[in-house]
Every structure is written in C-alpha cells, then in structure tokens.
Amino acid sequence: MKPISLKVWITWGVILFCLGVGSDYYFWHLLFQEKVGATQDAAMTPPQTEATATPEASETPADDSFISEIQGAVSEPTGEIKDNFLESLKACAPEVAAQAIATPEALMEYLQKSIGVKTEEVSVENFHLTLPDGSKRRVHVVISDNTNSTTKKEIRFFKLDAEGYPERLPLKGDETLKSLLAQGTQTRHEARLQLLLKDGSSVNLERHDQKVFEFQFANHGKVLSCRFKECLCN
Amino acid sequence: MSRSLLFLFTLLAGCVAQAAVWTEVNQWSPAFETRFHEWVQNEWRTDFFSRKNLPNGQSNPYYGLRMDCADTVYSMRAVFSYENKLPFVIQDPTSSGKTISNKMSRWDGKDELTRVRSFMWFLYETISTRSLPNDTYPIAITRETVVPGSLMLTTKKNHHSWTVKEILPIGVPYLVYNSVVGAGSGFGLQERQSWPNPEWVFQGDASANGNAGFRYWRPEAYLNKPVWQVPGYSDEQYRVALSKWTRFAQDRLALRQETDQQLVTRLLKTTCEGFTGRVTSVNEGAAYLRSNPRCMDYATYDTYSTPNRDRRVFDDFMALRRAYREILSINGGNQLAPELIGQLNKIFPAITHTAAVEAAKMGVSTEDAVSVCVAEYLPGKKMDLAEFKRRLFAGHISNNPHDGAEYRWGDVRGPSQRAKSCQSWDPWSPDLTAE
C-alpha cells in the first residue's frame, strides 16, 4: 500500500473541518435558533397548568399552543416562596393589618375601596397576542416621551423574532389599541399603574392578568414593598 | 480541487461569522464599573454623536445616531459595554421577566459596526423613560453612589432623564442629555451644570413610587427582580422635603463650598443658555408657520411649541432669584463683585419683594452697560436677559406655535388671531406664587 501523501492528509483535513463547520452552522444557527424563543418560554413555565387568561382571552376557546407564553413570568415562582406579607403589613401599616387583610389582592382592594382612589394612572401596559396563524404580537402602551404633554401615550406594536426578541412593526397611524388587540387572541396582560389615595398615600402597582404581581405602598413615611407575598417594610 | 475546498471553507466561515451584536469577553465587576465612571467623565460629551471624526482622525462610528432623552441614557451604558466587550442586558420593556441583550443575533451576517448601530436603533424604538426603572435603581446621595454614569429621572408626568457626566467639586451635577427629537434637532446632545428643579423632577409623586431622582444601573442578576432587593437600593432621597432637596443633595455631594460669586455666575450662565437656546426653537416654529400658515395638528403643534422649554427657563430664573435673595439676607451680597450685583439688580429690580410684585413693578429694560446675555432673538432685534425675564414673568412670552415670532418673543401682546382660532395643547404660564 502506498504511503498517504501530505497533500491527501491536508485535503481530508480540510474536508472534515468544513463538514464540522457546516454541521455546526446547520444545528446551531438554522435549526436550533428557531427553538430558542420557545425554550426561553418553556424554561419559565411552572408545573401547574391553570391558565391565567384575561377576561378577553377567557371568552375564546382555549388554545394551549401558546400556554408557555401565557404563563411566562406571571405565575408565582415554583421554588420556596418567602411569605412575610402579614408581618410586613403589620410593621408598615398596622391600621390596615388590623382589618384582617391576608393577601396583596385583599390589600389592594381595601386601599381602593375603603381609603379611596384620588387618581389612578396607567404608565405602561403590555398586551401579548397570538394571531390566527400562531404568530405572536405584543402591544406596548407607554407614556410618550417625545411630547410636551404630561398624559399622552403612544402605542408600539411588535412581532417576535426567532429568538423571542421584540421587533417593532410600523403603524399606519390610524390604528387604535382596540383594532390592534382585535388582530389576535390576548394571552397575557401586564400593567403598571400608580394610585394616589385619598389619604395622601400612594401605590405603585404591577398587575399581570389582573392579579397583583408586585407593589410598593408608600404609607406616610413607611414603604411596604412586595412581590407576591415576599415583602419588605422600611 | 484544493481551490474549491478553500472557497467552500471561506464561504462557510463567513456564514458562521459572529452571531451576537458583539462578543462579550469581559464581565461587569467593580473595576469595570470604575472604568465606566472614568469613561463617562472623560469621553461622554455633547458632540459624542455629532462629531464626524474622533480626535485621532478616525471616523466616529456613532456619528448620526439621533436620540431622545431616554435613548441618550441607554446609549451611554451600551456604547461603553460595546467598547469594552462587556454584556449589555436590560429588561425587555414589552414583556415582564424577559431580557434584551447584546447576544441577540438579528443582524447576523452584517459587519460589526452595522450590528452595533442596528442594535442601538432597535433599543431606541423599544425603550423609554418608563423602562428605566426596570433597569436602574434609586441610590443614596453620596459621592460614592452618585457617580459619573449614573442618571436622573423624572416622574412619568414630565418623562425626562439626564445622564450624570460628573459631580462637580461644589456638589452640583454636570448633566448631559437630550430633549425631544424635533424637526430641526441635530445629532448633538445638551448639557447643564446645575440642578433641575426638584418640584419638576418629582412632580406628581415624590415618593419611591415615582421612580424619580438619582439612579444607577442594575447588575444583570437583579434584572426582573424587585427593585428593593438590588444591593445599594436606597429610598433616602424620597424622605427629603422638596423645598430642601437641592440644598440637601448639594451638601451631601460637595467637596468644597461654592462661593457666592461662583454660585450666582453658574446660575446666571444656565439661565442665559435657556434664553439663547430658545432662539433656535422659536425660529424653527416661526419658519414653519410662515410656510404653513394654517392650524397645526397635534404632532406638528407639539414639535414647535415650547411649554417645557419655557418652564425650565422660568425655573432657572426662580432658582437664581432664590439664591441671590438668600445671599443678600445672609451677608448683604458682600462676597459678590459690584459688577455682578449691578447685573442681578437689573434682572431682579425688586428682589426684596415677591416675584409677583417684582413682575408688576418691572419696567422695560433696554440694553446698557450692565446688560447680561444679550441675544439677537429676531433679525436686527436684541434683548438682554433682564428684558426676557420681564416679558416671561409678565406672561408676554408665547409658547404657542400658532403665534408668529413677534408674539412668541412678546414684542406684540398675544394671543394672535390664529392662536385664538386654532386648537392648542399643553398650555403653560408662569406661576409666580411658587417661590
């Protein structure tokens, strides 16, 4: 058998290298990239299956193909959840704690109904949609920066790219929030709002699918801060 | 054969070229945070995006990026991250619990500079002043925490933000920022070496809930976490009465006391810049009105009206007035140069009275030896700062772009016929009772 020449070694070396690079490109850049977004969502999906759909979404038949998108970061963390809500509430607002308030939901309801809301302003809202073709959209409604107005809001419309990052879509100018939401099924709703209460206290509240996700209650010098039931009073 | 293989290799190598916007080689650490502070102090300047060439003669890779106030704040952090191959990660404003980072591969296949500029444009159309609370946290007011690279944010009512270029030895912030991206705005940023009015910064909610005041960047590990869990979080600045806020902050940050002369000169300079800066804005509006003499829609009106600009100049006048009045009450102004006192007395001829009384008493001011900050506001027409103050405080200055230039500057008392008949938005007039 003839000895293998250096040229043949180099040729086969180059061929194998190219095959390696080609495989890498196919798996990591073409095939796997499409699954990254879904993987991100799935990683955040807690084990329970109860969908936390908004009233709008609950009126339409369930479509569990986007269940991971619905539950994304809305649900409570699955690990050990610290619950010091009651003791923090007692420390920060003993007069409110005396009303047998047991949950952040109950606290928000108490503040709004018993103390009363002087002003309520929504500064940010995110609507997550799934279109009939299965593609995802997000509507981001935010206080407009490029204006002299103190109240004007702007609507930003996004599709999601293969990695799950938002990609702004141009609007013609005649769209409304309602018309954009009508394009698909709403799967999730996030809202950040500020409540100024009648007694001078205030609340910065973030709600996910109408449920209290996080809040800071500034109660005349004391601030009660909670995400779910993990709280801090200072 | 070998040529074909070489071609195939080159082709495939090109296809798998860097996927991320930039590859992070380093990680954020206290040492890199310190380098960030030094970089902001030394390199972050108003012409950062408007100079075509760098001092070394190379073309400026960031030239031509046009941004508003929040874009400016994010750009400061993003550019440093890129130049130092550090991760740049922020919360995705469109979805709680998700992030946006330099790892995204949307511009895969493009050259690095195109990827970076595309990433910046992507940020600009995604973020806002309302996303800043997700990515930053409120800090204590000390020289160790309020550092170059930190930022100031207003409540949502006034939706504005500034980068802190440095804290001057006298305890005053040197702010670099941008305003509304208007029709005639260029690529340059703006700067000021004075305190914004805390009544404006914290307007509507002076508690921690308003998210206003000094803030710093969250470490990546604390994105999408409750803000109060971020190491260094402090709600101290929300526990200070607004009437004492500036004094409190400046005392905390000062390395040395500012002399009376320095204080008044600095405030005078800021006020003068507000006045002269208005000339371009008003001229742009007047030029538009001349070529489009009809009622404007909201967007056009908003672009050419100046209520926020006029309010900021008014606030600067009031800050100068308060400072001068306080100096007089403490030492009678014996630390001020006589020439400066003459200039101040021309601007505030009834300083011992209220601003409202002074406005009622103040007569027309003509250009003379003690005039300060004389500007040609219209072709062939000049006025000094004292006369502008008189007109502004008397309510003669118009921020309505339906008014022609002579009304905008108070040469003629408005409102004009067009301003009366066309719809207007977001009016502002000076509140002389708020001393």
Tell me the two tokens of residue B284.
């742009």
Q: Do B95 and A221 touch (CB under 8 A)?
A: no
Q: Given this model, what pLDDT does residue B426 score?
A: 87
Residue closest to B133 by CA, chosen among A142, A37, A222? A142
**In whole angstroms, what is the distance from residue B383 CA to residue B398 CA?**
16
Domain boundaries, chain B: 1-240, 260-421
Question: Could you say which residues of chain B have pLDDT below 70?
Answer: 1-18, 180-185
Is the minimum CB–CB distance between A182 and chain B shorter than 8 Å?
no
Q: Are B96 and A206 in contact (CB under 8 A)?
A: yes
Prediction pTM value: 0.83
A181 C-beta neighbours (distance < 10 Å), count: 16
For residue A13, give the chain B residue with the closest CA. B5
* pLDDT tens readout for residues A96-109: 999 989 999 999 99
What is the dihedral sign for C-alpha B314, B292, B67, A191?
positive
Q: Is B113 helix (H, G, I), strand (E, B) or coil?
A: helix
Residue closest to B123 by CA, chosen among B149, B89, B95, B150? B89
Work out the minimum CA distance from B140 to partner chain A, whole angstroms: 15
Q: Decide which of B174 and A75 is more confident.
A: B174
* pLDDT tens readout for residues A9-52: 888 887 887 787 676 666 555 554 444 444 344 333 333 333 33
Is the minimum CB–CB distance between B129 and chain A shorter than 8 Å?
yes
Q: Are B129 and B160 in contact (CB under 8 A)?
A: yes
Name which of A75, A145, A147 to mutate to probe chain B: the one with the most chain B Cβ atoms within 10 A of its Cβ.
A145
Q: Do B1 and A11 touch (CB under 8 A)?
A: yes
Q: What is the dihedral of CA A41, A46, A47, A50, to 10 degrees?
A: -100
For residues A113-130, give the mean pLDDT: 96
Q: Do B106 and A21 touch (CB under 8 A)?
A: no
> How much of chain A exceeds pLDDT 90, in percent?
60
Is the minimum CB–CB distance between A145 and chain B shorter than 8 Å?
yes
Work out the minimum CA distance from A118 to partner chain B, whole angstroms: 12
Residues 193-212 of B with CB under 8 A from A: 205, 207-211
Is the minimum CB–CB distance between A72 and chain B shorter than 8 Å?
yes
**In whole angstroms, what is the distance from residue B216 CA to residue B37 CA?**
11
Confidence grade of residue A67 (pLDDT, cut at 50, 70, 90): very low
* pLDDT tens readout for residues B210-268: 999 999 999 999 999 999 999 999 999 999 999 999 999 999 999 999 999 999 999 99
Confidence grade of residue A62 (pLDDT, cut at 50, 70, 90): very low
Is the minimum CB–CB distance between B97 and chain A shorter than 8 Å?
yes
**In whole angstroms, what is the distance from residue A153 CA to residue A121 CA?**
11
Residue B365, amino acid = S
Q: Do B426 and A150 touch (CB under 8 A)?
A: yes
Q: Are A53 and A64 in contact (CB under 8 A)?
A: no
Is the minimum CB–CB distance between B226 and chain A shorter than 8 Å?
yes
Is the minimum CB–CB distance between A144 and chain B shorter than 8 Å?
yes
Work out the minimum CA distance from B192 to partner chain A, whole angstroms: 20
Q: What is the DSSP letter of A115?
A: I
ipTM of the complex: 0.86
Q: Given this model, what pLDDT does residue A145 score?
A: 92
Q: Do B96 and A213 touch (CB under 8 A)?
A: yes
Work out the minimum CA distance from B337 to partner chain A, whole angstroms: 39
**In whole angstroms, what is the distance from residue A69 CA to residue A73 CA?**
9
**In whole angstroms, what is the distance from residue B259 CA to residue B278 CA?**
29
Q: Given this model, what pLDDT does residue B16 score?
A: 45
